[in-house]
Chains A and B, each alone.
Chain A
């Protein structure tokens, strides 16, 4: 295929010099198969070495290159230029975050909110530190939260969320999904602690299901679904209708728990 020239309209901002962000246009030579991230590299190598963005793995795993591409928050490494346009593409930093420089948003506010939802298994300390057995979890119990574990914390959902466009306190789709991921985990006992965070002013009820987070998520995590399931649990718990299951027990050792017939535990590799 012949080489195409595509105009990249890139948001530039240097807080030490510029009073506010402005758009700079670069003409990029595009080949078949080039991603938006490749286009940015081409600009840096051939046109403007001062352009700044953040990336790491360039294959949709690390979640560093979340950007507003043609008005949609998505990963630059996951987006083919020619799937979007043959002529013009706009590239901006993720909205709803402060801009550090050019295309680099400050994701710290998101990570602080993530830390605030207790994103870890909450069990009595003795049970967690006692290494004599594993927690028993069935495949069905795993499926109840597995989808929400695929989140890579890229912040695309935060950039798409309409509530976050004005509300500084709202936790946002990513932290609330993390919250639901642990709430739905059968090994966890922390519902009461997290319910405090989730029903507070910045919690789950600031979500009104505009559906944007689910639409833009580059990993199919579906934060919208997680938040609605979280609300359902909060409301049922308030009305005393929630199905109060005990967290899953610990296996007492090899052979305990539900094993398939004719199945034995493999021999231990570590001497007792």
Chain B
């Protein structure tokens, strides 16, 4: 079978994971004033103290990395779908796929490293 079904199935699955994880992320970051979730040091959910408190928890670090990977796949595959529907030349399509894959991998490595490093730093302080 051609790979279309495979990639699309995981695109959908990633969407469902994002619905939950990104939903929680949005609720924590943007509804802190109402819900006070995971923000022990004050109502401003994105203050430095609150960010570092979350970074010190290993479950948040793991969730950040998972959210980043799943989000990048869902988003970049979606962008590729839109671009490929423009009827590009085969060489351009290959270049688009390569470029998006590299962008995704680079950002995943950067973000995962940063999440882990932030956990180490915050954990050291906590």
Direct contact of A and B (CB under 8 A): yes
Tell me whether B4 is interfacial, beta carbon within 8 Å: yes
> Residues of B contacting A192 with CB < 8 Å?
1
Would B85 and A199 count as touching, CB distance under 8 A?
Answer: no
Tell me whether A206 is interfacial, beta carbon within 8 Å: yes
Residue in A closest to B7 when the chains form the complex, CB atoms = A205
CA distance A238 to B86 in the complex (A): 27
Would B9 and A238 count as touching, CB distance under 8 A?
Answer: yes
Would B85 and A234 count as touching, CB distance under 8 A?
Answer: no
Tell me whether B34 is interfacial, beta carbon within 8 Å: no
Would A199 and B5 count as touching, CB distance under 8 A?
Answer: yes
Would B2 and A167 count as touching, CB distance under 8 A?
Answer: no
* Chain B contact patch, size range: 10 to 19
Would A199 and B4 count as touching, CB distance under 8 A?
Answer: yes
Would B84 and A199 count as touching, CB distance under 8 A?
Answer: no
Q: Report the number of A-B residue pairs with Cβ-Cβ less than 8 Å.
A: 48
- Name the residue among B2, B12, B84, B85 with the largest chain A CB count within 10 angstroms: B85
- Name the residue among B3, B5, B9, B12 with the largest chain A CB count within 10 angstroms: B5
- Within residues 73 to 103 of chain B, which ones have a CB less than 8 A from any CB in chain A? 81, 84-87
Residue in B closest to A203 when the chains form the complex, CB atoms = B4
Would A167 and B9 count as touching, CB distance under 8 A?
Answer: no
CA distance A205 to B8 in the complex (A): 7
CA distance A49 to B21 in the complex (A): 65
CA distance A238 to B5 in the complex (A): 7
> Residues of B contacting A195 with CB < 8 Å?
1-2, 5
* Chain A contact patch, size range: 20 to 34
- Within residues 1 to 54 of chain B, which ones have a CB less than 8 A from any CB in chain A? 1-6, 8-9, 12
- Within residues 126 to 174 of chain A, which ones have a CB less than 8 A from any CB in chain B? 163, 166-170
Would A196 and B1 count as touching, CB distance under 8 A?
Answer: yes
Contact residue among B1, B6, B8, B87 (Cβ-Cβ distance under 8 Å from A169): B87
- Within residues 223 to 250 of chain A, which ones have a CB less than 8 A from any CB in chain B? 231, 234-235, 237-239
Contact residue among A170, A206, A235 (Cβ-Cβ distance under 8 Å from B5): A235
Interface string of A198-209 (1 = CB under 8 A from B): 011101011000
CA distance A205 to B77 in the complex (A): 12
Would A170 and B2 count as touching, CB distance under 8 A?
Answer: no
> Residues of B contacting A203 with CB < 8 Å?
2, 4
> Residues of B contacting A168 with CB < 8 Å?
87
Report the minimal beta-carbon distance from A219 to chain B, rounded to whole angstroms.
27
Would B84 and A201 count as touching, CB distance under 8 A?
Answer: yes
Would B87 and A200 count as touching, CB distance under 8 A?
Answer: no
Residue in B closest to A204 when the chains form the complex, CB atoms = B4
Known: A235-B9, A238-B9, A239-B9. A166 touches B2 (CB 8 A): no
Would A196 and B85 count as touching, CB distance under 8 A?
Answer: no
Would B3 and A206 count as touching, CB distance under 8 A?
Answer: no
Would B5 and A167 count as touching, CB distance under 8 A?
Answer: no
> Residues of A contacting B87 with CB < 8 Å?
166-169
CA distance A32 to B103 in the complex (A): 63
Known: A231-B8, A235-B8. 7 other contacts (CB 8 A): A166-B87, A196-B2, A205-B5, A206-B81, A206-B85, A235-B9, A235-B12
Chain B interface (Cβ < 8 Å from any Cβ of A): 1-6, 8-9, 12, 81, 84-87
Instruction: Please name 19 pairs of A and B residues whose Cβ atoms are closer than 8 Å in the assembled complex, sorted by A.
Output: A167-B84, A192-B1, A195-B1, A196-B2, A199-B3, A199-B5, A200-B4, A201-B4, A205-B4, A205-B5, A205-B8, A206-B81, A234-B5, A235-B8, A235-B9, A237-B5, A238-B1, A238-B6, A238-B9
